[in-house]
Amino acid sequence: SGKHVNGVIDLDVTGPKISRHLYGHFAEHLGRCIYGGFWVGEDSKIPHEGGIRRDVVEALRTLRIPNLRWPGGCFADEYHWRDGVGPRAARPRMVNSHWGDVVEDNSFGTHEFMALCDLLGAEPYVNGNVGSGTVREMSEWVEYLTREGDSPMASLRSSHGREKPWRVPFWGIGNEPWGCGGRMKADAYADLAHQYATYLRDHGENTLYRIAAGARDDDYSWTESLMKSIGCVTCPESPQSPYQAISFHYYTIPVPRDTVGSALEFSADDYYATMIQARRIDEIIRRHGDVMDIYDPQKSIGLVLDEWGTWHGVEPETNPGFLYQQNTMRDALVASVHFDAFHAHADRLVMANIAQTVNVLQAMVLTDPENNTLVLTPTYHVFAMNVGHHDALSLPVHITSRAADRNVNGVQLDTVSISASRKGENALVSLTNLDADDAVLVDLDLRGGAVVECHGRILTADSTRSHNTFESPEEVVVRDFDVASDASRYGTSVRLEIPAHSYVTVQV
Ligand code: AHR
């Protein structure tokens, strides 16, 4: 095809740290993410740890999930935490009006979520209710979770069987307040965020990282309103910011939301439209960051993308409110280019959460509700291949020549995306070839360090539509991949021929 990219990576010139929290997850009370995904209950015949599905936890441990956001999403703003503590049989029921209008029995609540985080080794990111809750309710939830001793909430927790407080590092102040979280204007929400944050106390040694709910997609004016409301972030005489980060959400939706396309049946045009949307994430992060830079040039306020991923139509004959979609090679490549963008903006982007971990939207794992079987999705494999980037130092990749792009209805799409990082003596290079049909030859010049060995791995499949199912769970799996390397005293040149629609990592 003649597609070719040349690049230089200097192994000695490191950039900002890629926080492991960029690989965070999101689990909402939505469809079969919690119920039938993570939680099967203590009476289930499916093997579990205190009601939490064992096979799901085991599969996810490989991903080293750094943090888990819960209980929503839109659900967070109608969730009342007291309904989900105490003896399960006595817990009140409610209607989950956002997601399928189903009855929620509150059997998965605070203690169950903290047990899940424990099993996964993930840090909890709890999202509080601003839309239909109160300041007192949220403040008491923090006390219930994190305070030691005999305070009213600590005693209530003890009476429910948990003496010791938990550690909760991350706290969200509402969700999508411009939409399902209360249909507010930015300035109105900014005032509320200050008010709520004031009463989100640090108890004992627990220090909260408070995250204000931010923009939809490219609504930079929302970010600007929140930044303005803080005042001078770095002036010594000004009060400290009430929150430590601002979030935003960005979904990859190839066609308008009211006509979402199929996760499995899509044309080449749909495929490229998806990739154009996915690659927009780079500009969107940068521009939210540009706005923040005006008010906070020292980057002390973090940017958090706490919902991202593909949003397709639901699988036939499933509840439209459950957002259950299949996951193909296309989704995997959406994930890999997002991670490259995250790495490039690691100086401002401190956390990201894929929506959602199990059975909802761009999931890692699809479970069979009746049996002890699950499917690992192509997206799962991208997360697994990238574990080496967690907490590594980013390495800038200098593209010196590029002949790999495609004109998609007048829009130029770069079909190759590369990022790299270094941890100790090891470097990890990630390379995505988005082209649906053509392979690309990539020549990398690795300088500034002696390369002893290169080990390649590849995630690819017959077609962009390839996916794993219960009947055929290994259509898309990771394999070893040949990397030709040639060391000289000036560095090491590495040559890779990356097949169409593939994701490759090279461990150096
Ligand atoms: O992830 C599904 C939903 O998408 C979330 O509940 C909401 O925050 C967003 O609109």
- Are 315 and 421 in a shared domain? no
- Are 411 and 503 in a shared domain? yes
List the residue whose alpha carbon is closest to atom 8 of ligand 1. Answer: 73
- Domain C-terminal end among 362, 391, 420: 391
pTM, 2 dp: 0.97
- Are 428 and 493 in a shared domain? yes
- Are 322 and 405 in a shared domain? no
- Are 328 and 405 in a shared domain? no
- Are 28 and 45 in a shared domain? yes
Spacing, Cα 211 to ligand 1 middle (Å): 16
- Domain C-terminal end among 372, 391, 410: 391
- Are 384 and 494 in a shared domain? no
- Are 448 and 377 in a shared domain? no
**Per-residue model confidence (pLDDT) at position 374:** 96
Spacing, Cα 451 to ligand 1 middle (Å): 44
Tens of pLDDT, residue by residue, the chain (508 residues): 689 999 999 999 999 999 999 999 999 999 999 999 999 999 999 999 999 999 999 999 999 999 999 999 999 999 999 999 999 999 999 999 999 999 999 999 999 999 999 999 999 999 999 999 999 999 999 999 999 999 999 999 999 999 999 999 999 999 999 999 999 999 999 999 999 999 999 999 999 999 999 999 999 999 999 999 998 787 777 767 899 999 999 999 986 555 678 999 999 999 999 999 999 999 999 999 999 999 999 999 999 999 999 999 999 999 999 999 999 999 999 999 999 999 999 999 999 999 999 999 999 999 987 788 999 999 999 999 999 999 999 999 999 998 989 998 889 999 999 999 999 999 999 999 999 999 999 999 999 888 888 999 999 999 999 999 999 999 999 999 999 888 887 788 999 999 999 999 999 9
**Per-residue model confidence (pLDDT) at position 359:** 98
Spacing, Cα 40 to ligand 1 middle (Å): 23
- Domain C-terminal end among 357, 391, 425: 391
Catalytically active residues are: 176, 307
- Are 373 and 478 in a shared domain? no
- Are 401 and 258 in a shared domain? no
**Per-residue model confidence (pLDDT) at position 52:** 98
Contact 191, 228 (CB under 8 A): no
Contacts of 464-467 spanning 24+ positions with Cβ under 8 A: 464/266, 464/271, 464/328, 464/329, 464/330, 464/333, 464/436, 464/501, 465/264, 465/265, 465/266, 465/328, 465/329, 465/330, 466/328, 466/329, 466/378, 467/264, 467/326, 467/327, 467/328, 467/329, 467/377, 467/378
- Are 348 and 285 in a shared domain? yes
List the residue whose alpha carbon is closest to atom 5 of ligand 1. Answer: 73
Indicate the top mutation candidate among 127, 216, 307 to test ligand 1's pocket, ranked by most ligand atoms within 8 A of CB: 307
Where does ligand 1 bind, in terms of residues with CB under 6 Å? 28, 72-74, 175-176, 307, 355-356, 361
Spacing, Cα 96 to ligand 1 middle (Å): 13
List the residue whose alpha carbon is closest to atom 7 of ligand 1. Answer: 73
Atom number of ligand 1 nearest to Cα 179: 10
Spacing, Cα 42 to ligand 1 middle (Å): 28
**Per-residue model confidence (pLDDT) at position 260:** 72
**Per-residue model confidence (pLDDT) at position 485:** 86
Read off the CATH number of the domain in which 501 is found: 2.60.40.1180
> What number of residues does the chain have?
508
Rounded Cα distance between 459 and 342, Å, is 20
List the residue whose alpha carbon is closest to atom 3 of ligand 1. Answer: 73
Atom number of ligand 1 nearest to Cα 26: 1
Helix, strand, coil abundance in the chain, percent, nearest 5: 30, 30, 45
List the residue whose alpha carbon is closest to atom 1 of ligand 1. Answer: 355
Distance, CA of 30 to chain centre:
16
Note the ipTM here: 0.99
- Are 178 and 307 in a shared domain? yes
Read off the CATH number of the domain in which 338 is found: 3.20.20.80
Rounded Cα distance between 255 and 56, Å, is 31
Nearest residue to 287 (alpha-carbon basis) of 257, 250, 244 = 250
Number of compact structural domains in the chain: 2
Q: Are strands 411-414 and 405-408 parallel, antiparallel or unpaired?
A: antiparallel
Domain that holds residue 335: 20-391
